Structure 1
Amino acid sequence: MSGRRSLTWLGLTPEPERELPSTVAALRSPASDADMTAPGLAAAERRRVERLILHGTERSWLRYLAEVTDLVTAVASGARRGDRAAALLAGEVVLEHHRMLIGLPGTGYGRTAADRRALETAVSSLRRTSPARSDTTPATAEATTPDATNPAGTTTTAAEAPPETPQPPHTPGTRQGRQGGRG
């Protein structure tokens, strides 16, 4: 590579920079209640992520995500007290990010293999043992915000959400796609 830094890692999903600051702040918080997380902790985490994205490298970004992985796996294993719902969200976000590294040039995917395995175990454990969420007790505000795919703003997890599969086009002579009558 020439003297310029590679920016291909910035082309991945924006979810980590959007979801992780408040979630990681909740995991780092000494408070046992996620609602007690100081806004200052989330702001500091947001500044750290912003600094990594604007001035960091793929290696420094992956080091940060390894720290998040350590927090998630510690909460999942019970080695650290923490908000299990926040750990689950952070684990899912980082795991998805690490899975997408396969599409980028370089060694990022290979370097994150151990973290992916640890996150798969932790996420599985957190999904099994996290208390059931209801519409009145969301795990995070982001999980209940109305949007195009969730207009009512009800809480759903990736496991509960219906798969988004495209419907096959209507083929003449089949019943599929008809709204009653002949067509």
Structure 2
Amino acid sequence: MSGRRNLIWLGLTPEPERELPATVAALRTAARRTAAAPAEAAEAERRRVERLILHGTQRGWLRYLAEVTGLVTAVAGREGPGDRRAALRAAEVVLDHHRMLIGLPGPGYDRTAADRSALEHVVRTLRTAPPDGDRG
């Protein structure tokens, strides 16, 4: 195997790196039930995403997106606290990313099949569920 790093996965879309840090920081803060400053939490998440993109691998990036899937799944299932609008946005971004993997060589698309299925369910649930605070 070559010592060169495969970078093809970086060409998919910039939306995850632009939109996920603030959204994921809000979801993580709610999940941990901490009162972390939103700007500080978002900056820490942005740095994490930047490290993954600049120094990580596709496998590491997909692990990160699987973490995000877990956060939004907990919010959608009301198993965890969090802003349902933020969870919906994060779910849509990750689902779009995972769908685009079909155009890349390698096992990424197949690896994300379970997450795609979960995210499709989350998106449907969050689009049709009552907004935060309205437990119907």
TM-score, length-scaled by structure 2: 0.90
Local SS of the residue matching 2:79: coil
Deviation at 1:16, TM superposition (A): 0.1
SS in 2 for 1:87: helix
Equivalences for residues 132-171 of structure 1 within 5 A: none
After superposition, where does 1:89-100 map in structure 2 within 5 Å? 89-100=89-100
Runs of 4+ in 1 over 2 A off after TM superposition: none
Residue 45 of structure 2: aligned partner: 45
Distance (whole Å) between structure 1 residues aligned to residue 89 and residue 37 of structure 2: 16
Which string of whole-angstrom CA distances, capped at 9 and with x for unpartnered residues, describes residues 7-65 of structure 1?
A: 0000100000000000001101138xxxx852100000000000000000000000000
Distance in 2 between residues matched to 1:111 and 1:9, nearest whole Å: 14
State the Cα deviation string for residues 116-151 of structure 1 (Å, max 9, x = none).
Answer: 00000011000001539xxxxxxxxxxxxxxxxxxx
Q: Percent identity?
A: 73
Give unmatched runs, 5+ long, in structure 2. Answer: none
Counterpart in 1 of 2:6? 6
TM-score, structure 1 as length reference: 0.67
Aligned CA RMSD, in angstroms, stands at: 1.9
Distance in 1, matches of 2:57 and 2:51, equals 10
Stretches of structure 1 that go unaligned for 5 or more consecutive residues are: 133-183
Inter-partner Cα distance in structure 1 for 2:62 and 2:96: 13
Partner of 1:77: 77
Aligned residues: 130
Q: Which residue of 1 aligns with 2:23?
A: 23
Task: Identify, as 1 or 2, the structure richer in helix.
Answer: 2
CA contact (8 A) 1:25 1:42 kept: yes
